[in-house]
Amino acid sequence: MNLFLDSFPVGLFQCNCSILGCPQSKEAIVIDPGEEGDAITKRLKAGGWTVKALIHTHAHLDHFGATADVKACCGGRSYLNKADQFLWDLHETQSMMLGLPRASVDPVDEYFQDGQILSFGQHSLEVLFTPGHTPGSTCFRLASGERQMIFSGDTLFRRSVGRTDLPGGDFDELAKSIKTRLYTLDGDSEVIPGHGPATRIGDERRGNPFVRV
């Protein structure tokens, strides 16, 4: 089963936005359309993708600032963990605090359930709740095909973890989420974080200085 994956950094904070697609059905899911809506839309149109869902690892503005724009051009339903709705609602405050451009923001279409399966064509992602960076932080595990992959948002980075000093952050929760939900995955699993370079679960289990097994 072929999988299309295009991950690229967007905006001031270089949030990794990912387009995951099923080449057979041309259905796609967009993860964290944080900024640069035009660039994301261009890639979606160029690939001829039908957007099924716009999903978010959490509701810091650098991860959802372009959601409304991409949705207006390409369609798709937006998803969030309900526990981050308060941050979504604070988008104007976030734009001032983070120095990001004010974004046009639509209401969230649907809330995730932990363990929910989101399908796109012959592929699917499993929703994993991983609170800590924010109360509603969520990771997505590719649950189809041979490739083992996890989109870790700002929960786990290469040799680092997300900050927990922002409103709603909790380091103990973050460490628990990483140990029980991410370090338990196959060591060969590729990790695409919310910012910065990719890594593997096994490498972080062995070498991450912030959360040790």
Residue numbers at the binding site for Zn ion (CB under 5 A): 60, 154
> Contact, 85 vs 68, CB < 8 A?
no
Instruction: Give 121 or 193: the residue with its C-beta nearer to Zn ion.
Output: 193
- CA dist 135 and 209 (Å) reads 23
> Contact, 210 vs 167, CB < 8 A?
no
- CA dist 45 and 131 (Å) reads 34
Residue 94 Cβ vs Zn ion, minimum distance, rounded to whole Å: 10
Instruction: Give 124 or 177: the residue with its C-beta nearer to Zn ion.
Output: 177
Residue 57 Cβ vs Zn ion, minimum distance, rounded to whole Å: 8
Q: Are strands 199-200 and 190-193 parallel, antiparallel or unpaired?
A: antiparallel
Residue 208 Cβ vs Zn ion, minimum distance, rounded to whole Å: 18
Q: Which residue's C-beta sits nearest to Zn ion?
A: 60
> Contact, 41 vs 73, CB < 8 A?
yes
Instruction: Give 65 or 76: the residue with its C-beta nearer to Zn ion.
Output: 65
Residue 167 Cβ vs Zn ion, minimum distance, rounded to whole Å: 11
51 closest CA partner among 73, 67, 27, 68: 27
Residue 129 Cβ vs Zn ion, minimum distance, rounded to whole Å: 15
Question: Residues 6 or more apart from 200 whose CB is under 8 A from it?
Answer: 187, 188, 189, 190, 191
Q: What is the CB neighbour count within 10 angstroms for residue 65?
A: 30
> Contact, 45 vs 21, CB < 8 A?
no
Instruction: Give 35 or 154: the residue with its C-beta nearer to Zn ion.
Output: 154
Instruction: Give 85 or 119: the residue with its C-beta nearer to Zn ion.
Output: 85
Instruction: Give 16 or 199: the residue with its C-beta nearer to Zn ion.
Output: 16
Residue 158 Cβ vs Zn ion, minimum distance, rounded to whole Å: 16
